[in-house]
Amino acid sequence: MNRTTKTVIALLVLASAGLGWRLIQSRKTAEAASVPAAAASAAARPTALDLRDSDLVTARSATLSRTLALSGSLRAVNTALVKAKVAGELRTLGPREGDTVQAGQTVGEIDTTEFSLRVQQAQQQAEAARAQVDIARRQLDNNRALVEQGYISATALDTSVANHAAAQASLQAALASADIARKAQADTVLKAPISGVVSQRLAQAGERVAVDARVLEIVDLTRLELEAAVPAADAGGLRPGAVAELSIEGIAEPVRAQVARLNPTTQAGTRAVLAYLSVQPTPGLRAGLFARGTVAQDERTALTLPLSAVRLDDALPYVVVLDGQALRRRTVKTGARGLVERVESIEVIEGLREGDRILRGSLGTVRDHTPARLVAAAR
């Protein structure tokens, strides 16, 4: 083997070694680059949500009690204002706010001095008129005897008859004036027109009050009603006798009520119809308390969901359904709202089947196709 051949062989060996070294380096570089890519792919993959049975509700057929939400303030059916029927100084005024009074009870008195004097004046005028009647009657009797004897003419007798009639009329007027004076004196005593509780004391003893001045306000708390404005579109389905359940501020337990009547006209501007609900007597109720509740309209059997499970943060209402191992958004068509076993629910017309498991609305927003799995609750 000559020198040239040895040189060629040596160069080939060196080239093969360099190529092998470059292949090893490129493989290491590829392996090093694949690690971050795999990590990034793993990070981009969403983590499966662990759900419990309590996080889901089931679409099921149930009896839906269709209800109408309403609200308003309580007011007393019977209220009364004690007013001054005569003008004068208010001498006494007994009851204060919160005091209970009975119908016919004396609650105050206006100074009677002036009215007593007027009664005496009217009585004296009546006595004077009675005396004039006696004089006119005696003169009439005398003139009748004189006419029979021919001493006076019939014209004089006619005058006596007219004088007697005028005297009698004056007596009747005086007696009526005396009755008016006695009534004014009686009106100085202020009495409660109804039984109830004093809600306002609008005057104080010692003040001079005018005619029809308000002195006390009395409310009867034994009969309270709720005055609620109902939209005209919903008023057609409301009937007297419908049962309602109210939540009233300050009262822990729900209070039952019943639709008593509906106003035949609508309110100007809102076109709402006023409904009046008689409220069941309950300790602690007060006129003016705010109440809200629902009144039953009808019942139907339908596919229902709790109202909170239907999400409204999109253009159309939708629910989040557990479909296999993923949560999927599904648009639904809803119907009437009502109560199912005292839970506010809604009818689902399209988009769900009975038995579908729906994510509760309280769990917040979830992306479509998010992986999920059911896990057993820890003891």
- Give me the pLDDT at residue 14, please: 54
Contact status, residue 203 vs residue 238, Cβ threshold 8 Å: no
Same fold, 51-66+300-374 and 70-77+222-297: no
- Which of the listed CATH numbers 3.40.50.2000, 2.40.50.140, 3.20.20.80, 2.40.30.170 matches domain 70-77+222-297? 2.40.30.170
Comparison of pLDDT for 266 and 6, the residue scoring more = 266
What is the assigned CATH class of domain 51-66+300-374? mainly beta
| Range from 34-38, 85-89, 95-99, 197-201 carrying the lowest mean pLDDT | 34-38
Element (H or E) spanning 326, and its range?
strand 326-331
Q: What is the pLDDT of residues 84-112, one digit of tens each?
A: 999 999 999 999 999 999 999 999 999 99
Q: What is the pLDDT of residues 269-315, one digit of tens each?
A: 888 999 999 998 888 888 999 999 888 777 788 999 998 899 988 88
User: Residue 66: which pLDDT band, with cuts at 50, 70 and 90?
Assistant: confident
What value does the mean pLDDT take over residues 140-147? Answer: 82
Q: What is the mean pLDDT of the chain?
A: 84
Question: Is residue 101 exposed (0-12), middle (13-18) or buried (19+ Cβ within 10 Å)?
Answer: buried
Q: CB 59: neighbour CB atoms within 10 A?
A: 22
> Is the predicted pLDDT of residue 27 greater than 80, yes or no?
no
> Is the predicted pLDDT of residue 344 greater than 70, yes or no?
yes
> Is the predicted pLDDT of residue 379 greater than 50, yes or no?
no
3-state secondary structure of 165: helix
- Give me the pLDDT at residue 37, please: 46
- Give me the pLDDT at residue 43, please: 45
Q: CB 6: neighbour CB atoms within 10 A?
A: 10
What value does the mean pLDDT take over residues 59-81? Answer: 89
Spatial separation of the C-alpha atoms in residues 343 and 64, rounded to whole Å: 10
> Is the predicted pLDDT of residue 134 greater than 80, yes or no?
yes
Spatial separation of the C-alpha atoms in residues 198 and 190, rounded to whole Å: 14
Degrees (nearest 5) of the Cα angle 198, 203, 206?
130
- Which residue is it, tokens 């005018």? 210
277: left (phi over 0), alpha (psi -120 to 50) or beta: beta
| Range from 20-34, 107-121, 255-269, 290-304 carrying the lowest mean pLDDT | 20-34
- Give me the pLDDT at residue 32, please: 53
For the chain, give every domain's residue range. 1-45, 51-66+300-374, 70-77+222-297, 79-201
Helices (H), the chain: 3-44, 113-149, 154-186, 232-235
Spatial separation of the C-alpha atoms in residues 198 and 99, rounded to whole Å: 6
- Helices 154-186 and 113-149: crossing angle in degrees, nearest 10, is 170
Least Cα distance to 218 among 130, 127, 89, 102 occurs for: 102
According to CATH, the superfamily of the domain at 79-201 is Helix hairpin bin (1.10.287.470)
What value does the mean pLDDT take over residues 9-16? Answer: 56
User: Residue 38: which pLDDT band, with cuts at 50, 70 and 90?
Assistant: very low
- Centroid of chain to Cα 110: 40
> Is the predicted pLDDT of residue 203 greater than 90, yes or no?
yes
Comparison of pLDDT for 181 and 314, the residue scoring more = 181
- Give me the pLDDT at residue 29, please: 59
Q: What is the pLDDT of residues 318-343, one digit of tens each?
A: 999 988 888 889 999 998 877 888 78
Spatial separation of the C-alpha atoms in residues 128 and 106, rounded to whole Å: 35
Highest mean pLDDT among 39-43, 161-165, 229-233, 259-263: 259-263
